[in-house]
Amino acid sequence: MSVAALLTRSWRRVSGCWAPGAGIRRLSSIADPEIKVCVLGSGPAGFYTAQHLLKHHKSTVVDIYEKLPIPFGLVRFGVAPDHPEVKNVINVFTQTAHLSRCSFYGNVTVGKDVSIEELKQAYHVLVLSYGAETNRILGIPGENLPGVYSGRAFVGWYNGLPENRNLNPDLSSETAVIVGHGNVALDLARILLSPIDLLKKTDITANSLEAIENSKVKRVIIVGRRGPLQVAFTIKELREMIKLPGTRSLLDPNDFEGLRHVVKDLPRPRKRLMELLIKTALESNAGKEAEFQAAATKEWSLRFQRSPLEIIPSNDGERVGGIRLSVTKLKGSAESAVAIQTEDVEDLECGLVLSSIGYKSHPIDPSVPFDQQQGVIPNKLGRVLHAPGMYCSGWVKRGPAGVIATTMNDSFETAESVLEDVQSGILDVSALKGGYKVIEALLKQRGICPVSFSGWEKIDSSEVTKGEKVGKPREKLLTVKEMLEVANQ
C-alpha cells in the first residue's frame, strides 16, 4: 500500500483554527519510506510546521535549517525582554526539536551556503519559513541621518541580534519620535521609558541596559498617519503603556471627542481598545491615578493623522533635529480609511527617530517565486504557486503581520496542504532522497559547520549561567563567533 493510501486524516477547521488533535487517525508507518522534509527557518513558522507534520505523519523526517547558530527567530530577537511569558513557546519548540525524527542545523544560510536547487534534490518537500528579515523604509529626505534608526534595528539591538549589536543609538536627547502605530512601536516606547529596575530583571542585553540607564529620553511621541480608529496596536500593549511606572500618558482629548458614538458598533477587540483610549484621554483622573500622573517624570503621547515628510537635520547638520509631518485627512471609513496628505505641516523637535512601519520579506533565491509588490511568496494555502514540492509558512507566506498564534494557525494550514498532497499523490514521495547526508557533504566542502540542537543547548546553558550571576534570566551571547565557540566546546 502506498504512503498516500495510508494517510487517513480528518482535520477540522474550528473558527478558522485547527482544533488540537481534531479527529486524527494515526498512521501506521513502520515500513513506510521516509518523506524527507526540509524546513527553512527556525522561527515559530518553521517549528509549528515541523510539529504538525511530525505529529500527523509518522513517516516524515524533518530537518530545520537556520541561518543563525541559534533557533527561534523573532521569539528570541523580536519579542520584548519584559514579555518573558510569550517566550514560553520555546518549550514547545524544544520538545519538537528533541523528537528523533527532527533535526536542527543552525549556522546554515539557505541561498548562500546551500542553494534551493541542492535542497530540492535532497528532499521531497521544502517549506520556506524564513520570515521577514528587513524593514519597510519611509523613503523621505534625511532618513539616513545619525539618530534615525529602524525599529527593527533598535529591537535587534536590545534583544542581542548579532547584526545590530553595535547600533549604539544616540539617547542623549529628551524627545524621541516613533513613527507607526503598531505593537512594535509600543514595544520601543515601553523599553525607552521603562524604569531601569524593571529592565534589569529581563534578558535585555547588558550593553543596551547600560545605554538605557544613561538615556536622557523622557518624552516619546508616537506618530501615526491615520486616526485612533485605525491604530494597529492592541489593548494589552496599550494598557502596559498607560500603567508604565513613572510615565504619564498624554492623549489629546480633541482626538477622541465625538468617537464615543462610533465605538458601540465596533467589533469587540477594537471596541475595548477604543474605550480604553477614550477613557484615558477624556476622563479626569482622581485619587491614586492623579498622584501617579503627578509623580511621573516621563511621558508618552499619540499623535494622529500625521505622515512623515522629512527628517529635519540639527543646526550643525550632523544629526537629526526634528521631523516634518504632513497633516492628513482620512478618506473612507473605519479600518480601511486611507490617509491623504494635505498642505498643512507640523514640525516636531526631537533628537531620536525610530521608524516602526513594519518588517519586510525578501526573495531567497531566483528559483523561488516572489511577489515584490506584496512582499510574500505567492501561494495557495501554503503551496508555492508553480513550484511543486515547495511550501511556505509564517510571515513570508502572508506578510509581516500577526502574533505567534496567527503564525501557528497558518503553519498548521501549510502542513495540512503538504499532507493532503501526499495523500492525493500530487506530491511524489516515491523516490529515495538523501536528505541531510547529501547536504552535509556539500557544507563540509564549503567549510560550513552546522550547529546542532545540542550545540544550541550548550549556548543556552552558558547564557543562563552568565545571567544568573547578575539576576537575569540569561545574558545573551552577541556574536556568531562566540556562539560557535560555545556550541563546539
For the chain, the first-to-last Cα distance in angstroms comes to 46
* Least Cβ distance, residue 290 to ligand NAP (angstroms): 29
Binder of ligand NAP out of 6, 17, 99, 232 (CB under 6 A)? 232
Restricted to residues 418-457, the positions that interact with ligand NAP (CB under 6 A) are none
Binding mask 88-117 for ligand NAP (x = CB under 6 A): ------------------------------
* Least Cβ distance, residue 77 to ligand FAD (angstroms): 8
Which DSSP string do the residues of 228-263 spell out, in sequence order?
GGG----HHHHHHHHT-TTEEEE--GGGTTT-HHHH
> Does 237 participate in binding ligand NAP (rule CB under 6 A)?
yes
CB 209 within 8 A of CB 196: yes
* Least Cβ distance, residue 77 to ligand NAP (angstroms): 12
CA–CA separation, 399 and 308 (whole Å): 23
**DSSP-assigned beta bridge partners for residue 397:** none
Neighbours of 267 (CB within 10 A): 9
* Least Cβ distance, residue 270 to ligand NAP (angstroms): 13
* Least Cβ distance, residue 402 to ligand NAP (angstroms): 5
Q: Which does 179 bind (CB under 5 to 8 A by kind): ligand NAP, ligand FAD, none?
A: ligand NAP
Restricted to residues 138-197, the positions that interact with ligand NAP (CB under 6 A) are 138, 179-185, 187
Cα 207 to chain centroid distance, Å, stands at: 22
Restricted to residues 354-413, the positions that interact with ligand NAP (CB under 6 A) are 356-359, 400-403
Closer to ligand NAP at the Cβ: 182 or 394? 182
Closer to ligand NAP at the Cβ: 338 or 432? 338
Neighbours of 173 (CB within 10 A): 20
Q: Which does 237 bind (CB under 5 to 8 A by kind): ligand FAD, ligand NAP, none?
A: ligand NAP
* Least Cβ distance, residue 47 to ligand FAD (angstroms): 8
> Among 176, 168, 157, which Cα is nearest to 217's?
176
The amino acid that residue 244 corresponds to is: L
14 backbone φψ class: left, alpha, beta (φ>0; ψ -120 to 50): beta
- Could you tell me where the beta strands, DSSP code E, fall in 314-361? 320-331, 338-349, 352-355, 359-360
Residues of this chain that interact with ligand NAP (CB under 6 A) are 136, 138, 179-185, 187, 224-226, 230, 232, 237, 307-308, 339, 356-359, 400-403
